[in-house]
Structure 1
Amino acid sequence: MKTALVLGGTRFFGVKLVQALLSNGVKVTVATRGNSTSSFQGQVESIQFDRNQLESFQSAFNGREWDVVFDQICYSSIDAMNAIQVFQGKTKKYIFTSTLSVYDLLDKELVESDFDPYSYTIELKDKDEVTYQEGKRQAEAVFFQKAPFPVTAVRFPIVLGENDYTQRMTYYINKVIQEEVIYLRNLDASMGFINEDEAGEFLYWIGSYDFQGPINTCTNGTVTLKEFIKYIEEATGKEAKVEISSDEDNQTPYSIPRSWTMSNQKAIDLGFEFQDIHQWLPHLIQTVLKK
């Protein structure tokens, strides 16, 4: 991979992807709506476009080619269909950032075959007409059933990091510090995560690897919500006030009724070495706490 186009890439683990590409000598183009300032001024080529306007989408990339396109901002079947139209003949490979959310919440460790985008019925709808889960399912279905170029769908769990703009982990840290009640459905439910650095590195790595299809990408190990809260208690020196509740009005970001994890064995078999969650998560909580 000598050239890469990143759709998105100005925040969170998109930044980590661009860093990984640059560190490995890849010539990078970053394309965004221009609403966020890139931290790579002078290091990457920048393109401004509006994905929601097909004419803008087409004209922005007219006459250009890249070895790999990384799509961080595709949320619907229409997004995916337009991308196929725009990038047909312009790339050797397409990496689509997908999600654990394509799976139903099954009480098992999820594997790639638990959602099959190759047979999923396509319905052309905009992202505002579907849920986040359905939008990502539809995007995968379109790419794998319609794209004329090789596609990889990287299914991430919740991504954590210092630059997490969702502030979901910070929400829990602040609740403990302020001695406010945290409502959860099930303290024994396990979750899988990945950190922003590892997410960016994996995207670069799989872009350099000869692989097509969906692939689960998560750090090694899982944590129960009880363990997650305990790590925060240890970092803050305060005891969390937790109440078990199924009331929808009281629910918090990670309040799941049962475990939500997936297997990363396929990625491991391909040769990627993941970190261990119990090593980096406590350190990350300490780092966020100090900011």
Structure 2
Amino acid sequence: MTRAREVLVIGGNRYFGKRLIARSLAAGDRVTVLNRGSSAPPPGAVHLVADRNDERALAGALAGRTYDVVVDQVCYTPRQAETARRVFAGRTGRYLMTSTVEVYEREDSPGPVPEGAVDPRTVTVDLELPWDDPEFLEGHYGEGKRQAEAVFSADGDVPFVSVRVAHVLGGEDDFTGRLQHYADRIRTGSPVAVPPVTHPATYIHVEEIADFVFWAAGEDFTGPVNAASHGELTVEDLCTAVAARLGCPRPVFKVTEPPGDRSPFAFDRHYGMDNSRATRLGFAFRDVREWLPAAVAETLGKEN
């Protein structure tokens, strides 16, 4: 009989994080959720309360506990990574951090970008930057994730994988408001602001990324891995799908020059990821155009 895994999820108790927890519990894992106490985990999961930025509090909450795998949903800075690296040394057999497509924000590629375009082992870490400043962190989200990956990758003591997540869509609990932005403008006939030339991006459904992280937590590969559905979408594709759901005419687009406001997903550079590594490792992605209409319907709901 296979022993149940001990799984710790740090943060991420909403959106695809809560779906990941549900999958782990359904698989028979013993799941612990650690957060600051803002929300309780689902029934069946153990709840630990600590601020992951407070090393002493984090170590105290974990005293005497070890895990087969840690899934870190809320590591945004190299400082947070350094704290976690020290606290979890000797406590886990695998550390998985959810990262982002934004790590490729400096890569100007005409096509999908492979993981090797950003090797975390070559990224310079600067712990003295003002990572505790919310405004700075918001403007350096991709850089924070790059450097956090670099901290874990340089350690080598714990098998580490960073899941670089594409833009996530779908679900009735999508809190980002991005598709709702389109719905509001299309319903009123207001123009959608776009750059002079729009470029496509890769996306992934909320259920698919939960499947992916659950799968990756149980594998033994290490290093960065891109998680994105097959295919790409432009902002025009997204708006057309929203208009079809609403039964409205085709959206109107208005070109704005920087630094003018842009609509969500209105990219002036290619934002696609190459998912071939994950495919070779055994994960079967869906095609983005297969699930897009359902994702729009889920997110906008009956009120739209």
Q: Please report the TM-score for the alignment, with normalisation by the length of structure 2.
A: 0.91
Please say if 1:10 is aligned against 2:13.
yes
The structural deviation recorded for 1:127 is: 4.8
Would you say the 8 A contact 1:186–1:255 is kept in 2? Answer: no
In structure 2, what is the Cα distance between the partners aligned to 1:186 and 1:3? Answer: 50
| Counterpart among 156, 159, 170 of residue 161 in structure 1 | 170
Contact 1:127–1:135 under 8 Å retained in 2: no
Q: Which moved more, 1:181-190 or 1:230-239?
A: 181-190
Displacement of 1:36 after TM fit? 2.4
CA displacement at 1:147 relative to structure 2: 4.6
Equivalent pairs, count:
289
Structure 1 residue 288: Cα displacement: 2.2
Partner of 1:144: 153
Is the strand fraction higher in 1 or 2? 1
Q: 1:91-139: per-residue Cα shift (whole Å, max 9, x none)?
A: 0000000011111242321000100111111111435355101100110
Matching residue of 1:223: 233
Moved more, 276-285 or 168-177: 168-177
1:1-291 superposed matches below 5 A: 2-38=5-41, 40-41=42-43, 43-103=44-104, 104-106=106-108, 107-125=110-128, 126-128=131-133, 129-130=136-137, 131-162=140-171, 163-186=173-196, 188-239=198-249, 240-291=251-302
Asked if 1 retains the 8 angstrom alpha-carbon contact of 2:9 and 2:73, the reply is yes
Q: Secondary structure at the match of 2:263?
A: coil
Preserved CA contact (<8 Å) 1:94 1:150: yes
- Any stretches of 5+ residues in structure 2 without a counterpart? none
- The 4+ residue runs of structure 1 with deviation greater than 6 A are none
Query: For 2:186 and 2:107, how far apart are their aligned partners in 1?
Result: 28
Q: Secondary structure at the match of 1:223?
A: coil
1:4 match: secondary structure: strand
Which secondary structure does the structure 2 equivalent of 1:238 belong to?
coil
Letter in 2 for 1:111: P
Q: Shift of the alpha carbon at 1:79? A: 0.3
8 A Cα contact 1:95 1:207, kept in partner: yes
TM-aligned CA deviation for residue 220 of structure 1: 1.1
Deviation at 1:28, TM superposition (A): 0.3
Distance 2:73 2:299 in 1: 24
Answer yes or no: is the 8 Å Cα contact 1:187–1:224 preserved in 2.
no
2:236 maps to amino acid: K
Mapped to 2, the partners of 1:59 and 1:90 lie a distance apart of 13
How many Å separate the matches in 2 of 1:12 and 1:121?
31
Structure 1 unmatched ranges of 5 or more? none
Q: What is the CA-CA distance between 1:30 and the residue it aligns to?
A: 0.6
Contact kept, 8 Å, 2:170 with 2:296, in 1: the verdict is no
Q: Residues 233, 177 of structure 1: CA spacing in aligned structure 2 closer, same or farther, 3 A cutoff?
A: same
Alpha carbons 1:187, 1:225 under 8 Å: kept: no
Q: Are the counterparts in 1 of residues 164 and 226 from structure 2 also a CA contact under 8 Å? A: yes
- Is the 2:230–2:288 Cα contact (8 Å) retained in structure 1? yes
Change (3 A) 1:172 1:127: farther
- Once the two structures are aligned, what percentage of the paired residues are identical? 33
TM-score by length of 1: 0.95
SS at match of 1:75: coil
CA distance in 1, matches of 2:13, 2:197: 35
Letter in 2 for 1:182: V
Contact 2:166–2:202 (CA<8 Å) still a contact in 1?
yes
